[in-house]
């Protein structure tokens, strides 16, 4: 009587599959807490000359409305004029004030470069915003549309390691790096970013 033996490879594959399942299930219960920050109070700053740097957390939790940010005054603006804002943020959507439906000259450019190495704004290559802020489909600025990576295990949005150069509504330049998407208690909808704004209108993005 011949006894048929199952191939060793089949057992190895079964063990590997079981280990993968155990890893996936255990990872779903152990979720690292993302960086989280309280929203920065709405407090317009006096206009400063030269290159200004700061860190700000913008509260964009309310999906029914956009939060508007102006680099020159370093603050969110509650009721801005059509060309009085540079970035509009709604949850994880971020757009610039530039395009066919906008009063500003804004645009954005994504660079896979460290913050410190971006010392001058490029003269061209900026994308502008498609769609209107009030449309059913969210407006989008291609360079800012996918500023994040989705973490399958943690179920969080993690900022990409990119530096974004922004052309503002008035044609000045800034650079920014997104740090986090979370308010306190890991609640989504707060964009924390460090930025540098050149108020003299030049392309220089250093002090």
pLDDT of residue 197: 98
Residue 203 within a domain: no
- Decide if 43 is inside a domain: no
Tell me whether residue 21 is in a domain. Answer: no
pLDDT at residue 24, as a whole number: 44
pLDDT of residue 9: 59
> Residue 182 has what pLDDT?
98
Q: Is residue 133 part of a domain?
A: yes
Looking only at the bridges linking them, the beta strands covering 75-77 and 93-96 are: unpaired
* Residue 13 belongs to some domain of the structure: no
Question: What pLDDT digit, counting tens, does each position of 3-39 carry?
Answer: 455 565 555 555 555 544 544 444 444 557 889 999 9
Residue 40 in domain:
no
pLDDT at 137: 85
Does residue 126 form part of some domain?
yes
* Predicted pLDDT at 155: 86
Report pLDDT digits (tens) over 99-154: 999 999 999 999 999 999 999 999 999 999 999 998 888 899 999 999 999 988 87
Average pLDDT, the chain: 89
Residue 143 domain boundaries: 51-198
pLDDT tens column, 162-172: 999 999 999 99
User: Residue 193's closest CA among 29, 56, 12, 99?
Assistant: 56
CA distances to 2, 181, 204 from 30, in Å: 49, 20, 44
Question: SS3 for 54?
Answer: strand
Residue 98 domain-assigned? yes
How many domains in the chain? 1
Task: Kindly tell me the sign of the dihedral angle through the C-alpha atoms of 137, 195, 48, 75.
Answer: positive
Residues 35-61 pLDDT 10s: 999 999 999 988 888 999 999 999 999
User: Which pLDDT does position 138 carry in this prediction?
Assistant: 87
Contact 175, 115 (CB under 8 A): yes
Task: Compute CA distances 13 → 22, 26, 27, 84, whole Å.
Answer: 14, 20, 21, 61
Residue 126 confidence (pLDDT): 98
Report how far residue 45's alpha carbon sits from residue 54's, in angstroms, rounded to the nearest whole number.
Answer: 11
Q: Is the pLDDT of residue 67 over 70?
A: yes
Residue 50: C-alpha distances to residues 120, 146, 182, 193 (Å): 14, 30, 31, 20
């Amino acid at each position: 009587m011949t006894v048929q033996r199952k191939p060793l490879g089949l057992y190895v594959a079964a063990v590997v599959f079981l280990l993968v399942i155990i890893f996936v299930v255990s990872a779903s219960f152990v979720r690292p807490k993302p960086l989280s920050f309280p929203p920065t109070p709405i407090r317009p700053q006096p206009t400063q000359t030269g290159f200004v740097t700061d860190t700000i957390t913008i509260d964009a939790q309310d999906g029914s409305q956009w939060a508007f940010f102006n680099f020159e005054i370093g603050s969110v603006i509650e009721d801005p004029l059509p060309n009085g804002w540079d970035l509009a943020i709604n949850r994880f959507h971020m757009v610039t004030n530039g395009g066919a439906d906008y009063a500003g000259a804004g645009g954005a450019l994504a660079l896979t470069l460290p913050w410190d190495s971006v010392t001058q704004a490029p003269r061209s290559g900026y994308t502008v915003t498609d769609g209107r802020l009030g449309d059913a489909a969210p407006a989008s600025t291609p360079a800012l549309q996918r500023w994040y990576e989705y973490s399958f295990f943690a179920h969080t949005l993690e900022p990409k390691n990119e530096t974004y150069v922004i052309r503002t509504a008035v044609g000045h330049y800034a650079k920014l790096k997104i740090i986090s998407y979370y308010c306190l208690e890991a609640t989504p909808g707060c964009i924390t970013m460090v930025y540098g704004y050149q108020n003299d209108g030049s392309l220089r993005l250093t002090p």
